[in-house]
Amino acid sequence: MVSIPGQARVGVIPGQARRRRARGREPIFPHCFLDPLPEARLASLAGGDTVVGATQTVQRAVSFPAERAEGARGEGHPSSRTASWTPFPRLALRASPGVTRCPLTIGAFGGQISSMTSFVQASPTATRKSGEIKLHGPEAFAGMRRAGRLAAEALDLLVDFVKPGISTAAIDRFVLDFALSHQAYPATLLYRGYRYSVCTSINHVVCHGMPNDKPLREGDIVNIDLTFVLDGWHGDSSRMYPIGAIGRRAERLLEVTHEALMRGIAAVGPGGTTGDIGQAIQDYAETERCSVVRDFCGHGLGRLFHDEPNILHYGRRGEGVPLKPGMFFTIEPMINLGRPQVKVLSDGWTAVTRDRSLSAQYEHSVGVTETGVEVFTLSPRGLDMPGRSP
């Protein structure tokens, strides 16, 4: 058993939703609902895992519909094959039939998150999440290079397109047209009911901001996060775009966040662990007097949009999941100028900083090689950090 370091939290549900939940009509997690159940029923929902204690410490009782209805919050909250916590006395979490594990943060109440780590050779066709980490061969690496490069090319073109006065809805249409013209499609479109081809997160929005017709303004910073599916492979990447001239504090946040990402990538290699990645990111960001968001994390990908393992952006070296050649995953730290706490708005998607401080994020899809790491989504034009000279 391998322990994943740190303690995860779920964004706090807004007041109105919280009151509805208290009356028994609103779930603590989207797409789940609270239901008093006997311990035998809890054990069956947990897939045979243990259910113990008077307050029913549940292991793996949270689940969601399989892929396309999986990964509710995109980046995938930290989760694990077994995760114990004590949510509420005599309450359990239940979901709809035909389900796989929930990618949300299920260590939300302070439970230790742990995982039985197992590795399998990846299937050539897409499968549901199994809790096992897939190891990919040369053909998979070639597929990820193509998908990653296409995502990077789209983000490169947005450097000239994104400017003051442009709406995020126009960015969304641009990305959709680009994907379809290259025989690809956006993975986020209609994913769990999400209606857009990109996520556009402005200023204090941490992630999963939804495009709209409001124009971008001089001084804004916006994260554009997109994933293309090309020949069945997922290329997932995001960048920060400064809108016109931005303030020095925002500029510094972008620099710190990009450097934190690159330090996390530099920690990837066979023989390492996911904790090495998290510590590299956390140490640098906190040294720069910024904070690392705990509520969201990176994730495995390949034939699936969200897969094992989860990549926390904080932790301790030597802990977490071992890194082996053939693993694919994203690294996508979200760094705040203020405190790390976030909340999810009533739309169920948009996550914002609780103190309204600026937030930034960069993301790459990577693969572990025999000698180190390969980044699939590097910019062909050297524009991995828009607004800075290549």
Model confidence at 85, pLDDT cuts 50, 70, 90, reads very low
Tell me which of 16-30, 111-125, 227-241 is least confident.
16-30
Distances in Å between the Cα of 361 and the Cα atoms of 75, 199, 211, 223, 263 are 11, 12, 17, 7, 14
pLDDT at 64: 31
- Model pLDDT, residue 389: 55
pLDDT confidence band for 60 (50 / 70 / 90): very low
Q: How far is CA 386 from the centre of its chain?
A: 21
Q: What is the mean pLDDT of residues 67-90?
A: 36
Lowest mean pLDDT among 1-5, 112-116, 152-156: 1-5
- Residues 234-281: pLDDT tens digits? 999 999 999 999 999 999 999 999 999 999 999 999 999 999 999 999
Quick one: what percent of the chain has pLDDT higher than 90?
Answer: 66
Give the pLDDT band of residue 356 (cuts 50, 70, 90): very high
Question: Where does residue 201 rank: exposed (0-12), middle (13-18), buried (19+ CB within 10 A)?
Answer: buried
State the pLDDT at residue 88.
Answer: 30
Decide which of 6 and 128 is more confident.
Answer: 128
Cα–Cα distance for residue pair 213/202, rounded to 1 Å: 13
The predicted-structure confidence for 203-228, as pLDDT tens digits, reads as follows 999 999 999 999 999 999 999 999 99
Q: Which of left, alpha, beta for 271 (phi over 0: left; psi -120 to 50: alpha)? A: left
Average pLDDT over residues 337-355: 97
For CA atoms 174, 175, 179, 182, the dihedral sign is: positive
pLDDT band at 116 (very low <50, low <70, confident <90, very high): low
Grade residue 127 by pLDDT with cuts at 50, 70 and 90. confident
How much is the mean pLDDT over the chain? 78
C-alpha 93/C-alpha 105 separation (Å) is 13
Characterise 204 by phi-psi region: left (phi > 0), alpha (psi -120 to 50), beta (else): alpha
Query: Domain spans of the chain?
Result: 2-116, 133-375
* Residue 206 vs residue 126, higher pLDDT: 206
Share of the chain above pLDDT 70, in %: 70
Confidence of residue 93 (pLDDT cuts 50, 70, 90): very low
Rounded to an integer, the average pLDDT of 331-357 is 97
Top CATH class, 133-375: alpha beta
Average pLDDT over residues 69-86: 37
Q: What is the pLDDT of residues 139-156, one digit of tens each?
A: 999 999 999 999 999 999
Helix 274-287 and helix 248-266, axial crossing angle in degrees, nearest 10: 150
Q: Which pLDDT does position 66 carry in this prediction?
A: 37
What integer is the mean pLDDT of 62-88? 36
Model confidence at 326: pLDDT above 90: yes
Q: Which residue, 257, 266, 256, 275, is CA-closest to 363?
A: 257
